[in-house]
């Protein structure tokens, strides 16, 4: 298959910001606490030396738009940045990747969202300190949702969350736009009913296993009846969707990912098992790989391979953009991932 011209165009809506990565070779505390998860441990007055630092654009709108562009799908980015140096830098980075930035909103006299990400070099796991202010001022209008075949939406924040979600729901219900949806934990917890309404009108839903169970739990009083098998979780989400050809993707870290087939079955792709340098952006990389393949008309099995290859490449670098595969490289690498 030869590379196609950029088509169709996807409007990628969600957070935008600058990510600064500090890799730490020591500093984890694995002592028992409220959960068995490892944690970073610092004491007051510490001055922690960081040998390296890395910077990258971050947030769903940035990550998805760049990932899609590299795989031959046209992308527009819609989010909010400030009129500061960081906002200009993000805009420049996106334009360099070919992303259409005309729908980005630049707020005057405001600071662009910033994240400092502490990465454990032994596992690739990270703790994120985020300063989000300007990103919570996103207000969508009908103009953002017209003349686009697809809209990919990540987690939404701010005072206009409800209005934005209703606008997206109505556009997907009554307009020609199709919706791909990646609800975040914040929206699942705070706007559960609207999350279910968006899932109902979506064509594609991307969630990790924990998010999927929280969505299903929000719709039932008996949490003892929640499914555990990924196949059952997918079927339960598909049952909420009205689209004639619904697609659900459930990821679970090193265990890989699952999706439903066009004929009602389930596919699983294994992760490579390699140790991650940094897991930031792995989910968005999987989503952009899968979604790009879907828009190129590929079968679900190949979509899963594209998602797995893209995610596997990104976790070898710091940040969510370096390591994103191009169309040509994807064709050579994706067959290595086993589908069952």
Note the pLDDT tens digit of each residue in 196-231.
999 999 999 999 999 999 999 998 877 778 999 999
The percent of residues in the chain predicted with pLDDT above 70, rounded, is 94
Quickly tell me which residue has 């990912």 as its tokens: 257
Which of residues 252 and 121 earns the better pLDDT score?
252
CA distances in angstroms from 70 to 10, 229, 272, 304, 322, listed in the order given? 13, 34, 22, 17, 11
Average pLDDT value for residue range 96-107: 95
Note the pLDDT tens digit of each residue in 200-209.
999 999 999 9
Q: Looking at residue 145, what is its pLDDT?
A: 87
State pTM to two decimals. Answer: 0.91
Note the pLDDT tens digit of each residue in 249-258.
999 999 999 9
Average pLDDT value for residue range 100-107: 95
Which of residues 42 and 132 earns the better pLDDT score?
132
CA atoms of 169 and 200, how far apart (whole Å): 9
Q: Looking at residue 3, what is its pLDDT?
A: 40
- Closest CA relative to residue 314, chosen from 338, 336, 288: 288
The percent of residues in the chain predicted with pLDDT above 90, rounded, is 70
The whole-chain average pLDDT of the chain stands at 90
Note the pLDDT tens digit of each residue in 50-65.
888 999 999 999 999 9
As a residue count, the chain comes to: 340
> Does residue 36 carry a pLDDT above 70?
no
Categorize the per-residue pLDDT at 234 as very low, low, confident or very high, splitting at 50, 70 and 90.
Answer: very high
């Amino acid at each position: 298959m030869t590379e196609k011209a950029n088509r169709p165009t996807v409007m990628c809506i969600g957070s935008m910001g600058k990510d600064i990565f500090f890799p730490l070779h020591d500093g984890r505390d694995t002592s028992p606490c409220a959960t068995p998860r490892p944690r970073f441990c610092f004491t007051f007055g510490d001055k922690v030396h960081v040998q390296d630092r890395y910077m990258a654009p971050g947030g769903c709108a940035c990550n998805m738009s760049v990932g899609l562009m590299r795989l031959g799908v046209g992308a527009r980015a819609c989010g909010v940045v400030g009129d500061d140096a960081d906002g200009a830098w993000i805009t420049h980075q996106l334009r360099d990747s070919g992303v259409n930035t005309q729908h980005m909103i630049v707020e005057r006299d405001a600071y662009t969202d910033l994240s400092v990400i502490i990465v454990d070099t032994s596992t690739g796991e990270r703790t994120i300190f985020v300063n989000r202010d300007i990103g919570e001022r996103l207000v969508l209008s009908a103009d953002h949702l017209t003349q686009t075949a697809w809209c990919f939406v990540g987690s939404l924040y701010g005072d206009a969350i409800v209005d934005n979600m209703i606008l997206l729901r109505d556009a997907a219900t009554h307009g020609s736009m199709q919706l791909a949806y990646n609800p975040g934990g914040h929206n699942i917890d705070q706007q559960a009913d609207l999350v279910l309404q968006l899932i109902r009108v979506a064509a594609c839903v991307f969630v990790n296993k924990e998010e999927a169970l929280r969505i299903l739990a929000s719709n039932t009083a008996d949490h003892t009846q929640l499914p555990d098998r990924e196949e059952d979780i997918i079927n339960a989400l598909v049952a909420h969707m009205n689209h004639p050809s619904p697609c659900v993707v459930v990821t679970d870290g090193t265990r890989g990912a699952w999706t439903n087939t066009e004929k009602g079955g389930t596919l699983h792709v294994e992760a490579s098992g390699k140790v991650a340098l940094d897991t930031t952006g792995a989910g968005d990389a999987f989503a952009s790989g899968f979604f790009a393949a879907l828009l190129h008309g590929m079968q679900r099995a190949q979509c899963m391979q594209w998602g797995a290859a893209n995610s596997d490449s990104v976790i070898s670098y710091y940040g969510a953009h370096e390591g994103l595969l191009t169309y040509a490289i994807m064709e050579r690498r994706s067959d290595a991932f086993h589908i069952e």
